Homo-oligomer: A and B are copies of this chain.
Amino acid sequence: MTRLSRRAQNRIERENRFLDAALKVFSRTGYTAANMDDIATEAGLSKPTLYQYFGSKSDLFTAMMLRARGAMMIQFDTGDAEGMVPVLHQFAWNYAHTVLSPAFLSLARLIIGEVQRFPEIGRAYQAAGPDRLLQGIMDYLTAQRAAGRLAFDDPELAAEDLWGLILSAPRTRALHNPQATATDADLKRYIDNGLRVFLRAYSTQPARDLAQLESLLKPEPQAKPDTAAQATSETGTT
């Protein structure tokens, strides 16, 4: 068993090295311009070995994307926050940091740019990423509605409004401009505003919730160090 499991482990490790390399190289140049030599070199292994693990370029791409999905499966994660307003606030920061990280943005650009060539990947990403998160948000918002704290008819729309209010603008901007990384100050501006608007429109007790929000916002730019970069690091802009 030891020998075999060692082999298996070895295999998995090599596979991961290839997938890491593929993520890096594909993110940098896109599917067509990426070349198998570079990926093999980046992985520190040989090209025929690469072909033994993944039968073709497009198989490799697909496999890499499949694995990347894991890193993109954002949860409606709110840490240890308690109370609706703190929870939403926490969520906003977690989410913003993740989605606006260079690695995450590169991957998003890659998916969008190649979606015509690999339509399933676009769909898979939509399902694993945004849609799953959306479900998480919906569940939470629905619970808050049940508790009488929010009012809305369509939970999906409410959830989409929440993230649209927070991230639509900075994300669109970031997709178009790889150089400019959003600072925490930028994020704060978007997040604070987004939450305010959301509460104003959806809270059953806007005055109270907004007051609570303001008190939360007093302290400085939220030293959230790097909840982000959970996605496979190294995918940077280079």
Contacts and interface: CB of A to CB of B under 8 A. Distances in A.
Contacts of A32: 29-30, 32-33
B165 A112 contact: no
Kindly report how many copies of this chain are found in the complex they form together: 4
Contact of A113 (B28, B113, B130, B237): B113
B126 A177 contact: yes
Contact of A172 (B30, B130, B173, B177): B130
A133 to B, nearest CB: 12
A168 interface: yes
A178 interface: yes
Interface string A92-113: 0000000000000010011111
A126 B179 CA distance: 13
Contacts of A173: 126, 130
Nearest to A169: B160
Interface residues of A, number: 49
| Top 4 A-B pairs, shortest CB-CB distance | A113-B113, A164-B168, A168-B168, A32-B32
Nearest to A130: B172
A111 B172 CA distance: 12
A105 to B, nearest CB: 10
20 contacts: A28-B116, A29-B116, A30-B114, A30-B116, A32-B33, A112-B175, A115-B178, A116-B178, A119-B177, A119-B178, A126-B177, A157-B190, A161-B165, A163-B168, A164-B165, A164-B169, A165-B165, A197-B201, A200-B200, A201-B201
Interface string A167-193: 111001101111100000000011001
B164 A237 contact: no
A157 B189 contact: yes
Contacts of A125: 176
A130 B117 CA distance: 26
Given A125-B176, A164-B165, A200-B201, 10 more contacts: A109-B116, A111-B176, A123-B176, A123-B177, A126-B176, A154-B193, A161-B194, A168-B168, A197-B201, A197-B202
